[in-house]
């Protein structure tokens, strides 16, 4: 039986990857951070009681900033495969916490690779690094592929650029089977609530149910190549099953704007929107409501405004990936379109919003965080 270690197992991708590897018969180990609240909501459904004599999923307390902890866990687990998904993964937050982001995302990757080397696991342990389309930043070529030059535009992307190259370096210098997956944006109902797609689907579902009044957004003309996290974790595993380690772009090859994603989400709720005004004064107004998903919404209501707080000091305006190499060499193609994913996300957020509305109607109010 193969053993895998996942950093970031409590995150969006970590949870889908853990499910995927368990189904493949792996023993899965994950690193979770100590927090003052439970932070395992995304993996509770696959959690196994530690009193079980032979659990297939084991969690270890740890942190990518803690070298001795990472080294001890690697020594105990001796994994066949390490998936380094742990990161301070929010681009906007990285402008506010640049040093921490570098420590976790850049040096954290070095710590893991160096621990593999220090423990003499170079020939046993395969390493996957969660690299990102943010490396392309100010794009030099359209669409972006493995050979497109990098121009990172945030402390997050600069930290991930170090992680990318240290992964390549340990492959070249020490013969470690180490690969970068250069993944374009991927989402799901488990996406963190402050990333743009989930902020939109959750925010509009809450507005539809009367739990919030208005959604405040940043640059809604940004263009992204959005896929589904389920499709992308399959590819993370495939990359570690080859004879020779290589880096791959993972994308759908189709691009949409944040504005389009807003329109789709509203349409799923039976709301037709029209945009009025320009720049920071632009708003989205309800044109009509055609379903019972949105009982709290009325024509003429302003449901979205622009708030410059959500603009970034340096923006990545457009990203579009070319997944040809992944298709040709690994036979990978994404199965879920951005529109299908949007439908799934809205449906899940609407379910939650309905539950919250019912609780509220019965005097059992739950706080709905407006932070985005
Ligand atoms: P999430 O933000 O959902 O998950 C990040 C994970 O990292 C969480 O488990 C988080 O723990 C953990 N983490 C954060 N800081 C530390 C730390 N100091 N030590 C250990 N663990 C830590 O990200 P995603 O699942 O979306 O992304 C997975 C990886 O892929 C990330 O590295 C991200 O940068 C990268 N990526 C993501 C893309 C996407 O579109 N989703 C695209 C390209 C790359 P906790 O739950 O406690 O916060
Ligand atoms: P991104 O994802 O920065 O691409 O990084 P995010 O969803 O945060 O932003 C996408 C685009 O939407 C614009 N935007 C807003 N973004 C947020 N979060 N909130 C807003 O209110 C808002 N309004 C407009 C952004 O400016 C941006 O252009 C994600 C993360 O998962 C990274 O970890 C990963 O590496 C990259 O995708 C690929």
Rounded to 10 degrees, the C-alpha dihedral 63/68/74/75 comes to -150
Ligand 1 lined by 181 (C-beta under 6 Å): no
**Residue positions annotated with a catalytic role:** 132, 134, 156
Task: Give the domain ranges of the chain.
Answer: 3-183, 196-223+257-317+337-361
- pLDDT tens, per residue, the chain with 372 residues: 999 999 999 999 999 999 999 999 999 999 999 999 999 999 999 988 878 888 999 999 999 999 999 999 999 999 999 999 999 999 999 999 999 999 999 999 999 999 999 999 999 999 999 999 999 999 999 999 999 999 999 999 999 999 999 999 999 999 999 999 999 999 999 999 999 999 999 999 999 999 999 999 999 999 999 999 999 999 999 999 999 999 999 999 999 999 999 999 999 999 999 999 999 999 999 999 999 999 999 999 999 999 999 999 999 999 999 999 999 999 999 999 999 999 999 999 999 999 999 999 999 876 666 555
Q: Exposed/middle/buried for 126, CB within 10 Å: 0-12, 13-18, 19+?
A: buried
Tokens matching residue 306: 């622009």
Ligand 1 lined by 14 (C-beta under 6 Å): yes
Residue nearest to atom 35 of ligand 1 (CA): 130
CA of residue 6 to ligand 1 center, whole Å: 11
Ligand 1 lined by 30 (C-beta under 6 Å): no
Round the CA-based radius of gyration of the chain to a whole number and report it: 21
Q: Which CATH number fits domain 3-183: 1.10.150.120, 3.40.50.720, 2.30.30.30, 3.10.180.10?
A: 3.40.50.720
Q: Which fold has domain 196-223+257-317+337-361?
A: UDP-galactose 4-epimerase; domain 1 (3.90.25)
For residue 216, give the 3-state DSSP assignment. strand
Ligand 1 lined by 206 (C-beta under 6 Å): no
The reported pTM is: 0.98
CA of residue 85 to ligand 1 center, whole Å: 6
Q: Which residues contact 340 (CB under 8 A, 6 or more apart)?
A: 228
Alpha-carbon span 161 to 94, nearest angstrom: 14
Tokens matching residue 231: 């499709």
Up-side HSE of residue 128: CA atoms within 13 Å toward CB? 31
CA of residue 10 to ligand 1 center, whole Å: 8
Which ligand is closest to the CA of 317, given by its number?
A: 2
Ligand 2 lined by 222 (C-beta under 6 Å): yes
């Amino acid at each position: 039986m193969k053993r895998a270690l996942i950093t970031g197992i409590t995150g969006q991708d970590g949870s889908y990857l853990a499910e995927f590897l368990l189904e493949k018969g792996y023993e899965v180990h994950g690193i979770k951070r100590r927090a003052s609240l439970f932070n395992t909501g995304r993996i509770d459904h696959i959690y196994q009681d530690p009193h079980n004599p032979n659990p297939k999923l084991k969690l270890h307390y740890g942190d990518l900033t803690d070298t001795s902890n990472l080294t001890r866990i690697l020594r105990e687990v001796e994994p066949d495969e390490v998936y380094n998904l742990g990161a301070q993964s929010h681009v906007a937050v990285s402008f506010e916490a640049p040093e921490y982001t570098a420590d976790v995302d850049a040096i954290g990757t070095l710590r893991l690779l160096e621990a593999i080397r220090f423990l003499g696991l170079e020939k046993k342990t395969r390493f996957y690094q969660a690299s990102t389309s943010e490396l392309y930043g100010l794009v030099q070529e359209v669409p972006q592929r493995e050979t497109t030059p990098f121009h990172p535009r945030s402390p997050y992307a600069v930290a991930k650029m170090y992680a990318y190259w240290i992964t390549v370096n340990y492959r070249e210098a020490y013969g470690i089977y180490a690969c970068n997956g250069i993944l374009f944006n991927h989402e799901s109902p488990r996406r963190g609530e402050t990333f743009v797609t989930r902020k939109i689907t959750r925010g509009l579902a809450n507005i539809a149910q009367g739990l919030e009044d208005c959604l405040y957004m940043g640059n809604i003309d940004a263009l992204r190549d959005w896929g589904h996290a389920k499709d992308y974790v399959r590819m993370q595993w495939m990359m570690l099953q080859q004879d020779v380690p290589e880096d791959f772009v993972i994308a759908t090859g189709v691009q949409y704007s944040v504005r389009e994603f807003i329109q789709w989400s509203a349409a799923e709720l039976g709301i037709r929107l029209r945009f009025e005004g320009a720049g920071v004064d632009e708003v989205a107004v309800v044109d009509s409501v055609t379903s019972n998903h949105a009982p709290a919404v009325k024509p003429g209501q302003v449901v979205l405004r622009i708030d410059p707080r959500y603009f970034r000091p340096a923006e990545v305006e457009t990203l579009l990936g070319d997944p040809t190499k992944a298709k040709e060499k690994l036979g990978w193609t994404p199965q879920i379109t951005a529109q299908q994913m949007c439908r799934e996300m809205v449906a899940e957020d609407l379910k939650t919003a309905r539950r919250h509305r019912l609780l509220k109607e019965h005097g059992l109010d739950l706080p709905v965080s407006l932070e985005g």
